[in-house]
């Protein structure tokens, strides 16, 4: 027996028209990716009178949003059977209409957020040549936040080094201000005192020098080193390279041209040493006076 999807009458005999409808299911929406939060808050680290080494290592990787489901495919078919005569003589003519109707794909889920953050933490490393490092990594498709904020970081006596990342790609940049005792790393502000060595991130960091002798390692990125008149010390940039810039502020007509910088620069022991005042220098390790260009300086 045949089933008749479309009734036909004599006037439709021989028609090849067929109409079919298929309703496809739409895909479901993908689930949201998981959030990842690595956070240290309200911690206190007190160093000894000897050398201390402290590293805050926080890693967060958020989940991707789930893929939206594909729409289901609706199938359709209709058929017209043709007859000759009146109903009792079936021919072999059959016209089938078949097809598919794909449903719409569902939307992908939202990506999760990754946060690696040190908050309201106090570090005081006391005497000795101490090391404090922040190894923050937040990765994912959604927003990534790496930050130290509302913290007090004290190096104490000795030659103390503050390392603000690992140098790996994707780090949040650091704004170091020795002059005002402030650090911005990612987002938010921190108080810093008693640090002599600074190691930056892979991003374009900014270091504003203060009184006393400091040494800066900018690492990757186009780093900016700012020296105010009266920086009063023998400062060093350990990895000054193309793209980095030294800015001299407040020196007036003594330093407002590249020619004046060159006139105050000598090669000493493998470094280009700029004498900014009596007993005040900026040493560029591994750099020769001859390699300096005007683009490396701002006023």
Interface with Ca ion (CB under 5 A): 47, 52, 125-126, 128, 130, 200, 205, 218-219, 221, 223
- DSSP alpha helices (H): ranges in the chain? 258-263
The answer to whether 200 and 236 are in contact (CB under 8 A) is no
Nearer CB in complex with Ca ion: 170/250: 170
- Tell me the sheet residues that pair with 132: 54, 162
User: How many Cα neighbours within 13 Å face the side chain of 90?
Assistant: 7
**Residue 229 DSSP one-character state:** T
Q: How far is the CB of 250 from Ca ion (least distance, A)?
A: 24
Q: Shortest Cβ distance from residue 224 to Ca ion (Å)?
A: 9
Please give the Cα distance from 147 to 138 (Å, whole number): 10
Of 256 and 295, CB closest to Ca ion: 295
DSSP 26-93: PPPPPPPPPPEEEEEES-EEE--SS--EEEEEEEEEPPPPPPPPPPPEEEEEEEEEEEETTTTEEEEE
Q: How far is the CB of 126 from Ca ion (least distance, A)?
A: 4
Distance of closest approach, residue 188 Cβ to Ca ion, in angstroms: 19
Return the number of the residue (128 or 142) whose C-beta is nearest Ca ion. Answer: 128
Which is nearer to Ca ion, 219 or 231 (by Cβ)?
219
* Alpha carbon distance 17, 159 (integer Å): 91
Q: Residue 223 or residue 235: which is nearer to Ca ion going by CB? A: 223
DSSP type of residue 291 = G
Q: What are phi and psi of 290, to 5 degrees?
A: -65, -20
Q: Which helix (H) or strand (E) holds 221?
A: none
Q: Which of 144, 109, 108 is nearest to 33 (CA)?
A: 109
8 A C-beta contact, residue 244 and residue 225: yes
* Closest chain position to Ca ion (CB): 128
Token pair recorded at residue 139: 């990765």
CB of 186 to Ca ion, least distance (A): 14
Residue 155 CA to residue 290 CA, distance in Å, equals 37
Report the residue number, 167 or 181, with the smaller CB distance to Ca ion: 167
Instruction: Please identify, using beta-carbon distances, which residue of 142 and 200 lies nearer to Ca ion.
Output: 200
CB of 148 to Ca ion, least distance (A): 16
Q: How many CB atoms lie within 10 A of CB 137?
A: 19
Q: How far is the CB of 167 from Ca ion (least distance, A)?
A: 8
Distance between alpha carbon 105 and the CA centroid of its chain, in Å? 31
Min CB(175)–Ca ion separation in Å: 11
Residue placing its CB nearer to Ca ion in the complex, 163 or 280: 163
């Amino acid at each position: 027996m045949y089933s008749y999807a479309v009734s036909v009458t004599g006037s439709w005999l021989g028609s090849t028209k067929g109409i079919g409808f298929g309703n496809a299911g739409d895909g479901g929406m993908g689930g949201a990716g998981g959030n990842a939060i690595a956070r240290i808050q309200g911690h206190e680290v007190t160093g000894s009178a000897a050398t201390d080494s402290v590293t805050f290592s926080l890693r967060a990787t958020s989940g991707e949003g789930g893929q939206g489901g594909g729409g289901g495919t609706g199938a359709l078919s209709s058929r017209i059977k043709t007859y000759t005569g009146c109903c009792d003589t079936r021919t072999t003519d059959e016209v089938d209409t078949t097809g598919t109707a794909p449903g719409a794909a569902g939307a992908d889920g939202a990506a999760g957020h990754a946060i690696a953050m040190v908050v309201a933490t106090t570090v005081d490393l006391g005497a000795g040549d101490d090391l404090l490092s922040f190894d923050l990594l937040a990765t994912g498709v959604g927003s990534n936040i790496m930050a130290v904020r509302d913290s007090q970081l004290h190096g104490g006596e000795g030659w103390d080094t503050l390392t603000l990342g690992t140098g790996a790609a994707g780090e949040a940049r650091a704004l170091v201000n020795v002059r005002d005792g402030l650090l911005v790393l990612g987002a938010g502000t921190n108080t810093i005192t008693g640090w002599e060595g600074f190691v930056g991130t892979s991003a374009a960091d900014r270091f504003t020098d203060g009184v006393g002798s400091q040494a800066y390692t900018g690492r990757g990125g186009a780093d900016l080193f700012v020296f105010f008149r009266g920086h009063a010390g023998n400062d060093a940039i350990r990895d000054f390279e193309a793209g980095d810039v030294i800015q001299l502020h407040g020196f007036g007509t003594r330093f407002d041209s590249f020619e004046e910088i060159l006139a105050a620069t000598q090669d000493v022991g493998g470094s280009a040493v700029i004498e900014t005042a009596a007993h005040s220098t900026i040493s560029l390790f591994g750099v020769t006076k001859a390699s300096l260009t005007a683009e490396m300086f701002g006023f």
